[in-house]
Amino acid sequence: MRLLKLSEIDRLMNQLEDMKLKNFDPIHELGAIPSQLDFAETIQGSKMDPWQGAYMTHAPLKSRIGIAASRQSGKSTVTALFVAHCLIFIPNFMCLVASRSLRQASHYLNKVRDAVLSVIPRDAMRQLNRLSMELPNGSNIVSIPCAQPDAGRGFSPHLVILDEAAFAPEELFRAITPSLAATQGALHMLSSPNGRQGYFFEAFEGEAKDVFWSQRVHWHDCPRITQEIADMERIALGDLYFRQEFGAEFVTPLGAFFGNSAITQFEAGESEDLSGLDVRDMEELLDDAYPGDDPDIEDLAEALSRTDRVTNLLYG
């Protein structure tokens, strides 16, 4: 019988650990699959707002969802938590996210990443980049800016999230929505309103309203927005834009020469030329422009804290 050297034991132990990480199974580790709402509230560390709970209940059941919500109401957060649940507990699940700008595309993915890393060890991830992520179970997510709709071609997503959908160009819908046909995937659009035009408006008050399960989230529905804050915003924005930004109303300024969407397009346009760039090129652009956006030790500590909350939820 040959005795193993300590160095060989260490090597074999490292190989075993690598195998465990590559085959990490969150269901086995946690003992059960939590509901979407329990998962979200556990990760967040607090109760969802009632409208967020309604979204979590309907999200797995509806193929077309529209959320017209007040600013700062938590619409990106709640959808990101739903996406994280899908990625973790559904093998080979593919999600495509389109956000208003390149920076926001990265920011949205960070929300999903933080939730995923609260359950799955970072070293177990197959891929973890600024705009894309792949889990051990083969599930993956790609986040792109609306300014580069062609970057969304070639995917077969089970779920498409359109963040700030009211500001998305028509080219984005033409590029992305046909890809849902092959997978019979879902489309979730979330945004504050942007005038009485466009596909997002149609989902609420136009020809597509019977297809979409929709929610309107008034600032009253968000306990974090106080009456004092609302009064200050009404003064700053004026009544018409306040009703749009915080009241989730589809309004158009009377007598405006340029539509509100045209004005906002100038305000929100990318400063970088993204034409012809793929996801990897855009990740490199983000690395150069915002080198300090990677998670630090405090992010990872918070992820570990959320891991403990998920474990306590399932095991008590």
Dist CA 292 CA 315 (whole Å): 37
Dist CA 161 CA 176 (whole Å): 10
| pLDDT tens digits for range 64-97 | 999 999 988 999 999 999 999 999 999 999 999 9
18 has pLDDT over 80? no
Q: Given this model, what pLDDT does residue 12 score? A: 52
Average pLDDT over residues 287-291: 67
6 has pLDDT over 70? no
23 has pLDDT over 80? no
Which residue do the tokens 């003992």 mark?
Answer: 31
pLDDT band at 297 (very low <50, low <70, confident <90, very high): very low
Structure tokens at 243: 């009703």
Give CA angle at 19 (14, 20), nearest 5°. Answer: 95
Q: Given this model, what pLDDT does residue 266 score? A: 38
Dist CA 120 CA 130 (whole Å): 18
Give CA angle at 32 (29, 37), nearest 5°. Answer: 115
- Domain spans of the chain, in order of start: 22-292
pTM: 0.80
| Helix/strand/coil (H/E/C) assignment for every residue in 40-71 | HHHHHCCCCCHHHHHHHHHCCCCCEEEEEECC
311 has pLDDT over 90? no
pLDDT band at 1 (very low <50, low <70, confident <90, very high): low
| pLDDT tens digits for range 155-195 | 789 999 999 999 888 888 888 888 888 888 999 999 999 98
Q: Given this model, what pLDDT does residue 130 score? A: 87
Measuring CA to CA, which residue among 101, 106, 135, 107 is closest to residue 119? 135
Average pLDDT over residues 216-243: 92
Return the higher-pLDDT residue of 298 and 123.
123
214 has pLDDT over 50? yes
pLDDT band at 32 (very low <50, low <70, confident <90, very high): confident
257 has pLDDT over 70? no
Domain 22-292 is of which CATH architecture? 3-Layer(aba) Sandwich (3.40)
- Look at 128-142, 147-161, 169-183 and tell me which has the smallest mean pLDDT: 147-161
pLDDT above 70 covers what percent of the chain? 73
234 phi and psi, to 5 degrees?
-65, -40
Mean pLDDT of the chain: 81
Q: Given this model, what pLDDT does residue 113 score? A: 94
Q: How many CB atoms lie within 10 A of CB 31?
A: 11
Q: Given this model, what pLDDT does residue 255 score? A: 44
